[in-house]
Chain A
């Protein structure tokens, strides 16, 4: 096979893996949007906050050390212990549940039946707050997250593909783990929402708030539940992205990567989030590959451009929506006067 095709195949594979990472973030959006109609901009910051908390707990950092030092003149930094990764993850999940309860109590409860744009703005305010809180609690420096996930290039795949095509593909081990985790997560969410009592209640609320209320489902409990699940999904996304690129502010910007995924897949569809993520991941990697390569984009169009990954997903989603306004799997929009 010609080299270009092999490169393109490798890029496609890597795109699929990146797409899975986008889907992980998009999942959290979809869950909250389905259950409460809130477009939760804070999902990316939730991931950042979860990752910061995880690192902080694991390394035994003193929360708010910065503030305490500034006000009391002490010099605290760590408790001096290291927690095992699993325990730290469990504790962080607990923190996310507490956070969900607080958010419901302080914010969502008071904003019932407001216009969607107001709720959206409130989640942006929440994002600012959580971003500041994360920095104040754990410090703003870039942290390394290591919970024992394999990293680096996968030797097996390189060897196998080398045997097949005479050219070894470079695939990151972490991306493979992320794919497996995403599959498990979606399977777990599906089983939870299909077979458990709370899961059914959740789907009832997503279907019709009023009807769900009338059969005795507590909306407030469901909201806490769904924000907890979204917090857990954010934790998973935070672990993956944090291991990949370090825990830092830019982690919260992955929310912006997940938005076109949502548009493409539809705001209300979990399979949509997955497939949208894959399409966007492959699309943007291939587009970048073609447009920045002098042999392909350069030869076809007479110029090359780079760093298209920032906007390609959005423009793709925009063009797609012009033909199908509800996304791939979204509920058909029916309007009545």
Chain B
């Protein structure tokens, strides 16, 4: 009875083209925001922040970024880990060079640096397509990780080769460094995520997003109706890398605090985020959230059950976890290749007709 367009009259163009045209959706959106900003910061503790909430927020940003490239523009990329590393090292260099500038500005600048690198590695996409492109983006992954590992300038010549985030404050609160509270970390990431999601949502339903989708559906046909493929593909790489760079910057500066590039940003990270996008749903912002939540929660859940409940040794549990994650991914792809976003879409269709489906 609640989930209806009926009776929700729109009187302006603005209302008609809003993101959530159905009142129930809109309410849900505001309630989610209210809970996320008003309730969770009050009850958050260190375990929940570091095990679930922070990874979820940061991976959601990265998944939105990758979804723009893979889901909307149709360019498969396996270089996400490398681009996250660019964001992380950019924010590190910026923070150590200009310690007085607020960290939010550094994070955004790191995004722009990553966008530039993304465009550079996106250039071959004009010639290469499909799996050839996917494998070609691995070049970015391996080259960038190697670069940050081997050139000492990037890690300020530290003896261990690690990068460690300096302390920084914004509005009187610590955002990075060991003294930061879980609430501050959480709220900072949440604000960035909400910003990213709003921008991404509006980009994808505007002119730019339509061009991306035209390129995705058939690039030659899109070219014929006047979409410039150079423009569309490179903007997709730029915007996507911008978000992924922000995610990498947050992952290093706020979540990890100290990082070693071959460990934190290796190829497994690229696959993890691609899985989030695929399981969540290609070409859906909601799907990016769902996929990130699923793949963050699943290992935590499995670990708690296998080690906590059944009391198995951790190494065996880790291998079993690998098996279960692999099997679940395959099962999920078989059951619903369009991802969780599709399940959600179907549920909404059903809800609209409920309780009289005929």
Contact = CB atoms under 8 A, between A and B. Distances in A.
A305 B147 CA distance: 10
Contacts of B124: 318, 321-322
Contact of B131 (A140, A267, A335, A336): A267
A132 B315 contact: no
B14 interface: no
Interface in A88-135: 106-107, 110-111, 114-118, 120-122, 124-133, 135
Contacts of A317: 135-136, 139
B126 to A, nearest CB: 9
B197 interface: no
B326 A321 contact: no
Interface stretch (B160-168, B241-249, B330-338): B330-338
Contact of A129 (B145, B221, B322): B322
B316 A256 contact: no
Given A256-B267, A259-B138, A136 B326 contact: no
Contacts of B282: 117
Interface residues of B, number: 48
Interface in A292-329: 305-308, 310-311, 314-315, 317-318, 321-322, 325-327
Nearest to A263: B135
A122 B331 CA distance: 9
A337 B221 contact: yes
A142 interface: no
A128 B146 contact: no
A304 B211 CA distance: 44
Contact of B319 (A111, A125, A135, A305): A135
Nearest to B279: A121
B274 A136 contact: no
B188 interface: no
A125 B136 contact: no
A140 B142 CA distance: 26
A22 interface: no
B327 interface: yes
A314 B143 contact: yes
Contact of B150 (A256, A259, A307): A307
A223 interface: no
B330 A129 contact: yes
A232 interface: no
Interface in B309-345: 312-313, 315-316, 319-330, 333-334, 337
A128 B139 contact: no
A117 B146 contact: no
A66 interface: yes
B130 interface: yes
B135 A262 contact: yes
A67 interface: yes
A276 interface: no
Contact of A135 (B76, B135, B322): B322
A282 to B, nearest CB: 19
B55 to A, nearest CB: 19
B218 A337 contact: yes
B146 A116 contact: no
A70 B139 contact: no
A231 interface: no
B132 A121 contact: no
A121 B333 contact: yes
- State which size class the interface on A falls in: 35 or more
Given A118-B278, A337-B218, A129 B326 contact: yes
B358 interface: no
A260 B141 CA distance: 13
Contacts of A227: none
A318 B278 contact: no
Which secondary structure characterizes the binding site on chain A? helix
Given A128-B322, A317-B139, A321-B124, A122 B316 contact: no
A39 interface: yes
B175 to A, nearest CB: 34
B150 to A, nearest CB: 6
Contacts of A127: 326
A314 B323 CA distance: 29
Contact of B320 (A107, A122, A136): A136
B142 A128 contact: no
A126 B323 CA distance: 9
B327 A259 contact: no
Contacts of B333: 111, 114, 118, 121-122, 125
Given A129-B326, A256-B267, A318 B139 contact: yes
Contacts of B327: 125, 129
B326 A126 contact: yes
A128 B329 contact: yes
Interface in B123-156: 124, 127-132, 134-136, 138-139, 142-143, 145-146, 150
Contacts of B286: none
A119 to B, nearest CB: 8
B143 A117 contact: no
A116 to B, nearest CB: 7
Contact of A114 (B315, B316, B337): B337
A122 B337 CA distance: 10
Nearest to A123: B330
Given A114-B337, A337-B218, A125 B316 contact: no
Contacts of B174: none
Given A129-B330, A305-B150, A120 B218 contact: no
Interface in B44-80: 70, 76
B42 interface: no
Interface of B: 70, 76, 124, 127-132, 134-136, 138-139, 142-143, 145-146, 150, 218, 220-221, 224, 267, 271, 274-275, 278, 282, 312-313, 315-316, 319-330, 333-334, 337
Given A124-B275, A125-B325, A311-B143, 7 more contacts: A111-B333, A121-B329, A129-B322, A140-B319, A315-B143, A318-B136, A325-B128
Interface of A: 39, 66-67, 70, 106-107, 110-111, 114-118, 120-122, 124-133, 135-136, 140, 256, 259-260, 262-263, 267, 305-308, 310-311, 314-315, 317-318, 321-322, 325-327, 333, 335-337
6 contacts: A39-B131, A111-B334, A125-B327, A128-B329, A140-B319, A321-B124
